[in-house]
Structure 1
Amino acid sequence: MIKAAFFDIDGTLVSLRTHRIPASAAVALEQMRARGISIIVASGRPRYQLGICSGHGFDAFITLNGQLCYDAAGIYRAAPIDARDARVIVDHVLAGRYDAIALQAQRGFANRESASVRAMCRKVDFEYRADDFGRALDEPVYQFCAFVEPGAERDVLSGTHTLTHTRWTELFCDILPTCGGKAAGVAATLKRMGIDAKEAVAFGDGGNDIDMFDAVGTSVAMGNASDEVKRHADHVAPGVDEDGLYRAALELDLI
């Protein structure tokens, strides 16, 4: 019996075309809650980029790819990037090796408003402004978004010791601690709720959802996911714009 459902946002819960939660997905969320299933956001987005999720009764939020997790009672997992490695990334950016966004608990900002940064803002329907990137060292950073092409992640990680990367778009990769990832957030959330992994389902469409799929008993890739993501999922649903979440929930007897 499923007791908890985890949802990626972009391309899973929210359409990348309309930047909205489809009406059918909202109905599915409501019906799952009515059946006693806890619904949890599991996203690479930070807390201040979750306005789209308000009003749907989510029980917990796994943000920044598992690095900062919270519920109504407060934060229950916080795993910022090691300060020494944060300095390495900041030095890379200040040297002009690549553009990046620093995501902290209360704010996020870019080193400059480049074409890639603007494209990312359009993709997620959220504005990140430029600031002195050295300010990323003023308080903990939970994730960097590095604007490099697929295959160039090793260059971003050069000189660091505790970082890894994940990716859900060709625009940029997410840089986070090796102890992180959505799977770590899922594990912390399930422990907090007293739910076994076999009693959980996860929905996703990006490369950063693959480790989450391995952390639950049932996984669902959206039809708009890449072939690699689909290969790691137990089920493949129609796309987010084809009522995929609702139809998968119906097929899995979640609603």
Structure 2
Amino acid sequence: MIKLVAIDVDDTLLNSNGKLLESTITTIKKAVSQQVKVVLCSGRPLAGVKHFLHELDIVTDDQYVITFNGAVIESVTGKLIKKAGLDFATYQKIDQYSYDHNVSYNIVDADSNIITSNLDVNWITVVQAWENSAGVLVRKPAELTKDHQIIKAVFGDEKEKLDQIEDDVIKEFGQNNYVVRAHPYFLEVMHQNVNKGAALEFLAEKLGIKTSEILAIGDEQNDIPMFNVAGTAVVMGNGSDAAKKHADYVTSTNDDDGIKQAFDKFVF
């Protein structure tokens, strides 16, 4: 019996236009009414998923969300459960790496601010800020205090550029941090103990839910850790080949009622 469903947001919960399908809204509301915990697990901060939570009527203090790819666990009303961020020295190194390798980057802080020292802010950073209901602050590391709460760093650039540097970024930062390709345009660096799976496992234990009672639905590499924790792993039809290797079941796409199909098969 499934008691908790962990769902990735972009290209999973949302269709290709960044919207909720009517079938998804109806399905999730039905599950919540049957006391199933539906936990959005996203690389976005709470501000970037809050409007979707309201559309789904997931609004009470006993509902939870995993944000920043697992760096923050909180109630949907913003009550903090757990948080782990990057240290300032790592942030400084990432900033320098950005200039040395001519790749765009930004950090996201605990207040959901998008901060970059890149004077030529690229379109990917702008879209990320828009999705997170945030502006873009152009700041150098020296303009921030050393206790500034940095949750994650994102190399956000064209796919071809990230393909070129991904292995090097893993080599440079992966030994002491969690580095993951969250999207073709996003290569993220976070606290070494952070990922969606670790956060999901922590939350489930807090709620007294067994991992065998968890259904995880996603589409990308950053969802693989939660697939490894959940009793049942579902990958969207539009998901990456890497993600599909970890699937117990491949549902239809995010544009073709994939969420409804997964809930009908495993929850209802």
**What stretches of structure 2 of length at least 5 have no aligned partner?**
none
**What stretches of structure 1 of length at least 5 have no aligned partner?**
none
Taking the TM superposition and a 5 Å limit, the aligned residue runs for 1:63-142 are 63-71=67-75, 72=77, 74-93=79-98, 97-106=102-111, 107-112=113-118, 113-118=121-126, 124=131, 128-134=135-141, 135=143, 137=146, 139-142=148-151
Amino acid at match of 2:46: R
Could you state the TM-score of these two structures normalised by the residue count of structure 1? 0.89
Relative to 1, partners in 2 of residues 1:39 and 1:119: Cα closer, same or farther, differing over 3 Å?
closer
Deviations along 1:50-79, one digit per CA (max 9) or x if unpaired, are 233232216101000100110158211111
* 2:182 is the counterpart of 1:174: no
Task: Say which of 152, 155, 158 aligns to 2:165.
Answer: 152
Which piece of structure 1 moves more, 133-142 or 20-29?
133-142
Q: CA deviation at 1:212?
A: 0.7
Runs of 4+ with >6 A deviation: none
Could you state the TM-score of these two structures normalised by the residue count of structure 2? 0.85
Q: CA deviation at 1:126?
A: 5.5
Contact 1:64 1:142 in 2 (8 A): yes
1: CA distance, partners of 2:243 / 2:184: 14
Contact 1:197 1:216 in 2 (8 A): yes
Q: CA deviation at 1:159?
A: 5.0
Relative to 1, partners in 2 of residues 1:61 and 1:198: Cα closer, same or farther, differing over 3 Å?
same
Q: Calculate percent identity across the aligned residue pairs.
A: 22
Q: CA deviation at 1:25?
A: 0.5
Taking the TM superposition and a 5 Å limit, the aligned residue runs for 1:16-35 are 16-17=16-17, 19-35=18-34
Question: What is the alpha-carbon root mean square deviation over aligned residues?
Answer: 2.3
Which piece of structure 1 moves more, 152-161 or 162-171?
152-161
2: CA distance, partners of 1:155 / 1:127: 30
Contact 1:5 1:38 in 2 (8 A): yes
User: How many residues matched?
Assistant: 252
Deviations along 1:194-234, one digit per CA (max 9) or x if unpaired, are 11101100110111001110011001101110122111111
Relative to 1, partners in 2 of residues 1:156 and 1:138: Cα closer, same or farther, differing over 3 Å?
farther
